Structure 1
Amino acid sequence: MPERDAVTTLRALVVDDEQEVADAYALRLRGHCDVETAYSGETALSIIDESTVDIVLLDRHMPGMSGDDVLEALVERGYYGRVVMVTAVDPGFEVLDMPFDDYLCKPVERDDIQAVVDQQRKLLAYETLGEFFSAESKRAVLAAEMNAEQRDGHDGYAATADRAQRLERRARRLLTDDSILDQFAQIEREEF
């Protein structure tokens, strides 16, 4: 299967209170992924609440809501994506307890920002794929073993089927080669 165009698949958000810096990093990612910018933590959270964002590139030192505050809010909201701190704040031991996925010290070169986005895309794709396989295998085995009336009357089954569909769509969007999903679908889960 041919590789997909990354521009139509990955969604990144650059968050930095310095507009020139945010725009420069976004420019480095244009043509590499779909990218949006936010110049405050509050704006970043609004964007994430309203649309799917796969990777957040987050500055730590911002007036008002800091990057650390945004990171905490993302955890509280159950954000499902990857967070890369891109900051001039030198890391200290406090980073050991912070739930980010990577840390880059400014200034960051074009190749490095693209490389970290590619790496985080792959990690998110594999995480999503694993969650999809788990949900879909449960749905598939129940679909094979129970009739439609039994399945339709169970809330947990409907929720699992919905979750599997959402995870599959996201995995297909993030993976550059989604043939593994087709291979998974070919596995028989019913008793003969």
Structure 2
Amino acid sequence: MSENGPPVVLVVEDEPDVAETYRRWLRSSYDVRVAPDGATAMTELDGDVDVVLLDRMMPEMAGEEVLREIRDREIDCRVAMVSAVDPDFDIVEMGFDAYVTKPPDRDELTGTIERLLDRAELNDDLQEYYSLVARQSALQAEKTEAELAESDEYAALVDRIERERERVDEELGDMSTDTEFVGAVREIMDDEGGE
């Protein structure tokens, strides 16, 4: 993570106009790097990168592959998947920290980055919990209650969230009685588009 200067945001986007728009929106607050494809993104990723805005649909190396490589390499950064593709149950196994549906506006993009920077300070278990909740929220925003109820993937995700919550409870005390935590979870659900 960057220690001196503004946080570093890596924009991975194959549409030059979109990448330039993001860069212009963010450059006053962040050190912005731009990669036009997955392979370039992997060469740009280093310990200084704090947040990656990752296009899901790119030729040659899709966003999911880049995300998997980031996690396999254990690069310590937060990743927001930015996509025109509405989330489906395949996102349950993706290790992103936020899901933003294109086209985002400036406030949505900067708000997402700020939330991810705040979460970067948390321990690994809490980060995992927030990541799982982000996936749940993305699905809740796109799917009906009936679709969610019929999905084995969604049921497994809900179980994982509960297990992760129990693990964090053991470390931090009972979160269900911690009003700050409950408020934070509600805020995440609202920010991610959940119900």
Counterpart check, 1:18 vs 2:32? no
Query: Could you tell me how far 1:8 is from its partner in structure 2?
Result: 2.1
2:122 is paired with a residue whose SS is helix
Instruction: Name the structure 1 match of 2:92.
Output: 96
1:126 is paired with a residue whose SS is coil
C-alpha separation in 1, matches of 2:121 and 2:105: 24
C-alpha separation in 1, matches of 2:28 and 2:66: 27
Counterpart check, 1:48 vs 2:39? no
C-alpha separation in 1, matches of 2:67 and 2:122: 22
Contact 1:32 1:114 in 2 (8 A): no
Query: Could you tell me how far 1:119 is from its partner in structure 2?
Result: 0.5
Query: Could you tell me how far 1:9 is from its partner in structure 2?
Result: 2.7
Query: Could you tell me how far 1:127 is from its partner in structure 2?
Result: 3.7
User: Quick one: percent identity of the two aligned structures?
Assistant: 39
Query: Could you tell me how far 1:27 is from its partner in structure 2?
Result: 1.1
Give the counterpart of 2:77 among 73, 77, 81.
81
Structure 2 residue ranges without an equivalent (≥5): 127-195
Letter in 2 for 1:126: L
Query: Residues 84-130 of structure 1, C-alpha deviation per residue, up to 9 Å, x if partnerless?
Result: 001111110011110000000000000111111111011102349x9
Counterpart check, 1:65 vs 2:61? yes
1:83 is paired with a residue whose SS is strand
TM-score normalised by structure 1 residue count: 0.60
Counterpart check, 1:33 vs 2:27? no
1:42–1:32 Cα change, 3 Å:
same
Letter in 2 for 1:95: I
Letter in 2 for 1:24: T
Query: Residues 13-62 of structure 1, C-alpha deviation per residue, up to 9 Å, x if partnerless?
Result: 0001111111111111111211111000000000004x520100000100
Higher RCO, Cα 8 Å, sep 6+: 1
C-alpha separation in 1, matches of 2:84 and 2:123: 29
Structure 1 residue ranges without an equivalent (≥5): 1-6, 131-192
Give the counterpart of 1:115 among 107, 111, 115.
111
C-alpha separation in 1, matches of 2:50 and 2:105: 21
TM-score normalised by structure 2 residue count: 0.59
Letter in 2 for 1:19: P
Which protein has the larger Cα radius of gyration, Structure 1 or Structure 2?
A: 1
Q: Over aligned residues, Cα RMSD in angstroms?
A: 1.8
